[in-house]
Amino acid sequence: MKWVYLFKLVLLMALVMPVRSIAQEEESAEISLEENTDEFQELFFEALKQKGIENYDKAINALLKCKEIDPQSHVVDHELAKTYQLNDQFALAQEYALSALNQHAGNLWYLNTYLSIVGLGESNFDSLKDQIPFDNVRLKENLIEILVDKKQYDLAKRVLKIMKKSGFTVRMTARMDDAQAQENQEEEVFQADESVKADDPLERLMNTLRTHLENEDYEALNTLSTEALEEYPLQPFLYYAKGLALNQASDFRQAADYLTMGLDFIYENDKLTLLFYTELAKAYKGLGDTPMANMYLSKMKNRS
């Protein structure tokens, strides 16, 4: 998972410290740094655990302690933004989301979190451009991906117009044209038309994934969901498919990571949420984390 790699990078960078001239001081500094690194890691994963069981105040406190150890960590800033948002503290959520994005402008997840906090539409588009590192090409590409997934085609086209022509711009323009043409057809023909749906690349992909699920072909499900997430990183069902396939392969840690991330993209879909909780309970049971497994089993009962 991207955030795991980023977290490891933070720890690696924390190890790069000025070398002291005296051997005794150097050894002492290394021991102190190792202790701080261990403390950082424990606090960070404690924060993720507390956030998962909706103890947002405790999660925030743990993350703020991480910030004291490593004030420049954009990974911690991003987690603080998401947790403050869940805790309805939107001003602080926006502050930390923007801090993470300014440090790592090309990160899709950071941009998506920031936009989920501030909202994005025609009325505030120009002001938001001035707040974020809009000159970053990768950020603009990520912004277009998010806008297209949300079917905000007019805004996406505004961003495309100020970008140099490339394979990405050509592909996204074609994707929007196809999507809008299909939507126009569906408006004209007010009926369930499976042949039209079959022409949608995303719908074809989902149908193939469902077929792999029905046939219990988990290896193919794992491969296809991995490829699909590169093209459609905001589709929660893809994270579910990936998590389920990893559970079947007994790769419970990665399964829990993918499923936890996918939960952030579910919007008012109780059925899919229950499926996520089911697989998360399996993943944590496989990891031997009984409290977390029971927590998701409890969430399933509350939702059903």
Domain definitions of the chain by residue range: 1-15+33-118, 134-192, 200-303
Residues 6 or more apart whose Cβ sits within 8 Å of residue 193: 185, 186
Which CA distances in Å does 103 have to 70, 75, 186, 242?
A: 14, 10, 42, 29
Closest of 74, 86, 163 to residue 111, by C-alpha: 74
Do residues 237 and 209 touch, judged by C-beta distance below 8 A?
yes
Q: What CATH number is given for 1-15+33-118 in this structure? A: 1.25.40.10
pLDDT band at 8 (very low <50, low <70, confident <90, very high): very low
Residue 179 is predicted with a pLDDT of 76
Q: Which residue has the higher pLDDT, 84 or 205?
A: 84
At residue 303, the pLDDT reads 63
Which amino acid, residue 26?
Answer: E
Higher pLDDT, 118 or 24: 118
Q: Are 234 and 149 in contact (CB under 8 A)?
A: yes
Encode pLDDT of 170-221 as tens digits: 988 888 887 777 666 545 543 434 444 445 788 888 888 888 888 889 999 9
Instruction: Determine the pLDDT at residue 199.
Output: 55
SS3 for 89?
coil
Give the predicted TM-score (pTM) of the model.
Answer: 0.56
**How far, in Å, CA of 75 to CA of 3, rounded?**
7
| pLDDT on residue 184 | 64
pLDDT digits over 238-269, tens only? 999 999 999 999 999 999 999 998 888 887 77
Q: Mean pLDDT lowest for which of 55-64, 98-107, 244-253, 295-304?
A: 295-304
Under a CB-based contact definition with an 8 Å cutoff, are residues 14 and 33 in contact? yes
Q: Which helix (H) or strand (E) holds 288?
A: none
Nearest Cα residue to 260 out of 279, 286, 285, 232: 279
CA distances from residue 133 to 136, 139, 166, 280 in whole angstroms, order as listed: 6, 8, 20, 35
Distance, in Å, from the CA atom of 85 to the CA atom of 80, rounded to the nearest integer, reads 8
Distance of CA 184 to the CA centre of its chain: 31
- pLDDT confidence of residue 202: 80
Where is average pLDDT lowest: 17-26, 52-61, 179-188?
17-26
Mean confidence (pLDDT) of the chain? 81
Instruction: Give the CATH fold of the 200-303 domain.
Output: 1.25.40
Number of H helices, E strands in the chain: 17, 0
For the chain, state the CA radius of gyration: 22
Whole-number pLDDT of residue 304:
57
Instruction: Output the pLDDT for position 30.
Output: 40
Amino acid at 222: N
List the structure tokens of 202: 């995303």
pLDDT of amino acid 301: 74
Residues in the chain: 304
Q: What is the mean pLDDT of residues 70-83?
A: 93
pLDDT in tens, 123-174: 888 888 888 999 999 999 999 999 988 888 899 999 999 999 998 999 888 8
CA distance 83 to 47: 9
Q: Is the pLDDT of residue 69 over 70?
A: yes
Domains 1-15+33-118 and 200-303 share a fold: yes
Phi, psi of 247, rounded to the nearest 5 degrees:
-60, -45
What is the signed CA dihedral for 103, 109, 113, 118, rounded to 10 degrees?
70
Tokens of residue 55, six digits: 């103890």
Average pLDDT over residues 28-55: 72
pLDDT recorded at residue 265: 83
The predicted model gives 274-281 an average pLDDT of 91
Q: Report the share of the chain in percent with pLDDT over 70.
A: 81
pLDDT of residue 177: 83
What proportion of the chain, given as a percentage, has pLDDT over 90?
39
